[in-house]
């Protein structure tokens, strides 16, 4: 048994505390309003939604006991890479503004690369103060967890992927697979797709309205 535990949240509010984008193969009138943050996973399952464009994965790692566990590296494994289907759907933005976040370790992964790597990148403490990039190794224990936020960039593929976290402790070494409840994570490009956001300001109680094409061009990521 590995001397650590982990949890992964693939349906976060994004790396900067903003809502994320999902691709759904339904017309706007068939898609329910954006859910509360705690209900995003259920909304995604019910709509058969796929993460679109840049996505955030939050991982919490904690030791099982008082002995220190060193986190040595984070590896990206792409198990399937395909050209995005032309009829894969419409982009629905769950963003309702950006808010303050916690102070995790930030990583960026370019899924378009032939061999994607998890690169340590600067973060933000939620009040505008920049946190410098700090690469592996890290140390965790039962009393001292770490939070890793992995942001993926994707412009050209529908990719299934997972992560492997390498660890060492008390003369032992190993890896743990981090995935979506036994399945790979899935992300798809939003390049060339139309997009909608939910407007509660001009419409009551709210409705999906088109995102201007010029704004959609900035959603693809540039890693």
pLDDT tens string 158-207:
999 999 999 999 999 999 999 999 999 999 999 999 999 999 999 988 99
In whole angstroms, what is the distance from residue 223 CA to residue 221 CA?
Answer: 6
pLDDT in tens, 8-27: 999 875 544 566 899 999 99
* pTM, to two decimals: 0.86
In whole angstroms, what is the distance from residue 159 CA to residue 156 CA?
Answer: 9
pLDDT over threshold 80, residue 103: no
User: What does the pLDDT read at residue 99?
Assistant: 47
pLDDT in tens, 47-60: 999 999 888 899 99
Q: What is the mean pLDDT of the chain?
A: 88
Give residues with Cβ within 8 angstroms of 62, minimum separation 6: 4, 5, 6, 140, 141, 142, 145, 146
User: What does the pLDDT read at residue 174?
Assistant: 97
Question: Strand 90-93 relative to strand 185-188: parallel, antiparallel, unpaired?
Answer: unpaired
pLDDT over threshold 70, residue 98: no
């Amino acid at each position: 048994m590995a001397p650590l535990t982990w949890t992964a949240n693939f349906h976060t509010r994004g790396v900067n505390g903003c809502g994320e984008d999902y691709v759904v193969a339904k017309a706007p009138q068939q898609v329910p309003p954006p859910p509360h943050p705690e209900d995003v996973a259920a909304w995604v399952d019910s709509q058969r939604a796929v993460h679109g464009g840049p996505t955030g994965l939050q991982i919490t790692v904690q030791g099982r006991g008082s002995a220190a566990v060193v986190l040595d590296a984070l590896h990206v494994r792409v198990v399937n890479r395909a050209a995005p289907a032309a009829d894969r759907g419409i982009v629905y933005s769950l963003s309702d503004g950006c808010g303050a976040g916690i102070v995790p370790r930030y990583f960026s992964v370019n899924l378009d690369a032939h061999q994607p790597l998890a690169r340590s990148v600067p973060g933000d403490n939620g009040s505008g103060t920049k946190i410098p990039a700090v690469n592996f190794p890290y140390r965790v224990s039962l009393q001292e967890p770490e939070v890793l936020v992995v942001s993926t960039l994707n412009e050209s593929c529908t990719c299934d992927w997972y992560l492997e976290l390498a660890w060492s402790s008390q003369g032992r070494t190993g890896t743990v697979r981090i995935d979506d409840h036994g399945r790979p994570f899935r992300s798809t490009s939003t390049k060339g797709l139309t997009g909608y956001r939910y407007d509660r300001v001009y419409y009551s109680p709210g409705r999906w309205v088109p995102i201007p094409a010029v704004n959609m061009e900035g959603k693809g990521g540039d890693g």
